[in-house]
Amino acid sequence: ENEDFIDVPVRLFKTRGNVHSLTWAPGGNKIAFVADRKDHSIVGYLELGKTNLNWIDPAFSNDFSPRWSPDGSQLAFIRTPAEGGSVDSLTQRKRIPWAIRKVGLTPSEKSILVWEAPNNYRGSIPTTHGGTNLYWPKQDRLVFTSYHDGWPHIYSVAATGGTPLLLSPGEFMVEHLSVSSDGNTVYFDANT
């Protein structure tokens, strides 16, 4: 047993909240994460070799699912309202709004809206096992899952925003996605 070959874990950073959804940037020199602070969550990233954390357009909201652009120069993420507020009925169905946002890595840069779910109950955040299934497979396209046509389907939207393109039409649910390494193919499972 040679102790010279034992790697000792090193803490990269410390922050408040429960850290999860660690995602390496292309090239492996940055790592994005979510800091969940119970009533809100923040997306951040750390550049290896540096000590300061970079928070991505922090707001009083729930930000999650950080996804790197293929060139590693931007991050996309999902934003929903933070928890809290006035008392609400447990029996009444209500819309849970959500949006896809993206941001460059310049300090204090504000995120921009890429796509926002319709303002109706079908525009609620997907509750299937895969959730929003957000991916950024090509520099100019993002892929996600939404219920806004009545079924949880796959959509593609330009990274600059616009009308999403339905990729999985039909009367069935899509739950999980995977994207090929070249970003040209989307694989999914469905109940049809």
Are the C-beta atoms of 63 and 34 separated by less than 8 Å?
Answer: yes
pLDDT value at residue 4: 64
Q: Which of 113, 114, 153, 148 is nearest to 130 (CA)?
A: 153
Can you give the pTM of this predicted structure? 0.89
**Longest CA pairwise span in the chain (Å):** 63
Average pLDDT, the chain: 90
pLDDT value at residue 10: 76
Residue 46 to residues 66, 74, 95, 97, Cα–Cα distance (Å): 13, 13, 34, 29
pLDDT value at residue 117: 95
pLDDT value at residue 91: 65
* Tens digit of each residue's pLDDT (9 = 90 or more) over 92-105: 667 789 999 999 99
pLDDT value at residue 2: 57
Residue type, 187: Y
pLDDT value at residue 89: 63
Backbone φ and ψ for 3, nearest 5 degrees, come out as: -75, -10
Q: Which residues does the chain have with pLDDT short of 50?
A: none
What is the Cβ-side half-sphere exposure of residue 143, based on CA atoms within 13 angstroms?
24
pLDDT value at residue 96: 81
pLDDT value at residue 12: 78
Residue type, 184: N
Residue type, 3: E
* Tens digit of each residue's pLDDT (9 = 90 or more) over 61-88: 999 999 999 999 999 999 999 876 666 6
